[in-house]
Amino acid sequence: MLDTYARKYFDFIINSAAKFLSGLGLSSNQVTIIAGTIGILTGLLVYLDMFIAAIILLWLSGFLDSVDGAIARLNNKESLWGTVLDITFDRVVEISFIIGLAFRFPEVRLNLLFMTTSIILSMTIFLTVGAVSEKSGEKSFRYQVGLMERTEGFILFTVFLVLPDLIYGLTILYAVLVLYTAIQRFQEARKLLKSPGLN
């Protein structure tokens, strides 16, 4: 939800960073790879109990993940491959973080499995609707707004590490919120696609 509605308040910063990095000769896909690589390291940092460093790199990765698209639009080089690369690295970063949590907090592995299942379900609906729908907005595919988008996920990931004593309940909360988002997106898809078999 914040990715959609709060983005306009940060566009100036994102676009300024895009111009700076583009001026250094970096392409949008290169920034995507840099963002992904930085994000992947967070899982290792979580496992090593380096929570502050993990939080910093997580948000740096997320920021660069916003900048890559701005670079593509700035240079009129948006591509379907860039979209695939971006979405793939987004999921790899989340997987790395969750694996780090699983090794650092073995007592919540069942909760993390519930979390991962919810993410898979929500992303399946999100990507399927994007694939079968016409493009809308500035994204290269139809973007379904939901309660839990990437920024909300990063906020909760951060809270996990700031309040590790509450991680059991927080991981359940995360899973439930993502599951709710999946239901939201499924209901929206039904209305949007107007499938005769579902009416």
Q: Residues 160-184: pLDDT tens digits?
A: 999 999 999 999 999 999 999 999 9
Active-site annotation, residues? 90
Whether the CB-CB separation of 122 and 181 falls below 8 Å is answered with yes
Give me the count of residues in the chain. Answer: 199
Greater confidence (165 vs 144) lies with 165
Q: How many other C-beta atoms are found inside a 10 Å radius of the C-beta of residue 198?
A: 10
pLDDT tens readout for residues 86-134: 999 999 999 999 999 999 999 999 999 999 999 999 999 988 888 887 6
* Domains of the chain, first to last: 2-193 (1.20.120.1760)
Is pLDDT above 80 for 20? yes
